[in-house]
Chains A and B, each alone.
Chain A
Amino acid sequence: MKKYSFVLELVKISYEQELERLKRINQKADNLTKYISIYLVMLNLVVPVIIKEDIVLVFSPRICYILTIIPAIISLVIAVIIQAFDKITLFPRGYTLENDIIDNPEEYNSSLKREAKQIALYDDATTKIEDNNNLKIRYVIWGYVSYIISIIALAIIILNGLVSLK
C-alpha cells in the first residue's frame, strides 16, 4: 500500500469516528431531556404533597422547591441548547473544485497531489466536527451535573421530610 493511500484510509476512518461520536453525544443529550422531563413531572407531584401534608422541613417548602427546580431547569436548558444546532463542516461543492482545477491544473496533475488534497479536506472536516463535539460534550457533562444536583437536593428534602414525620 502506498504511504498516501494509507494516510487517506486512516483519515476517512477518523472522520467516520467523529461523526459516530457526534451521534452518540446527541443521543446522550436526548436521554438527558427525557430524564429531566420525567423528573420535573415527579418533582411537581412531590412538592404539592409536601405542602398539603404540612411536613416540617429545615427550609420552607418554597426554598426547597427552588433548590430542586433551578438545577433541573438549568439542565433542561442545557439539553435543549445541545440539541439545537451542530456546527458541521461539509466538503466543497463540485464546481468549486472544478474551477480550482481549471485555475491551477499543476496542483492536480498527479494522484499524490490529489490524495494530499483529499487528506487535507478530510482533516479539516474532522477537526471542525471534533471541536463541535468537544464543546457539546462539555455541555452534556454540565447538564448531567445539574440534573444530579437537583436529584440529590430532592433526596435530601424527602429524607428530611420522612425524618420529621417520625
Chain B
Amino acid sequence: MTMQKKKKNKKKVKPNEQKNKSSPTKISDSDANGEEEITKDRVESNKEWAMKRNRTNYYTSD
C-alpha cells in the first residue's frame, strides 16, 4: 500500500517538473494589464539599453 502511495506521489510531481522545463527562458508576472512575460532576449536587450543610457563619469573621492 505504501509503495502504491509513493508511486502516486511521484506521478503528481512530474507534471510540475515538465511545466518548469517547458518555459525556462521566461519570467511571467501579473500586471494591471494582465499576465505578461519577460524573456531572456528582452533581459539582454534591456541590458544593452541600460548600458547606452547610463552615464559613466569620473569624480574625485572625498
Contacts and interface: CB of A to CB of B under 8 A. Distances in A.
Nearest to A82: B61
B46 A84 contact: no
A129 B36 CA distance: 32
Interface string A91-134: 11100110010000000011111001101110111001000000
A90 B57 contact: yes
A127 to B, nearest CB: 9
Given A92-B53, A123-B47, A123-B50, A2 B29 contact: yes
B60 A85 contact: yes
Interface of A: 2-4, 26, 29, 82-93, 96-97, 100, 109-113, 116-117, 119-121, 123-125, 128
Contacts of B47: 120, 123-124
B49 A117 contact: yes
Interface string B32-62: 1100101000110011011101111111111
Interface of B: 27-33, 36, 38, 42-43, 46-47, 49-51, 53-62
Main secondary structure of the interface of A (DSSP, over half): helix
A97 B57 CA distance: 18
A125 B51 CA distance: 8
Contacts of A85: 58-61
A91 B49 CA distance: 12
Contacts of B27: 3-4
A111 B46 CA distance: 14
Contacts of B61: 26, 29, 82-86
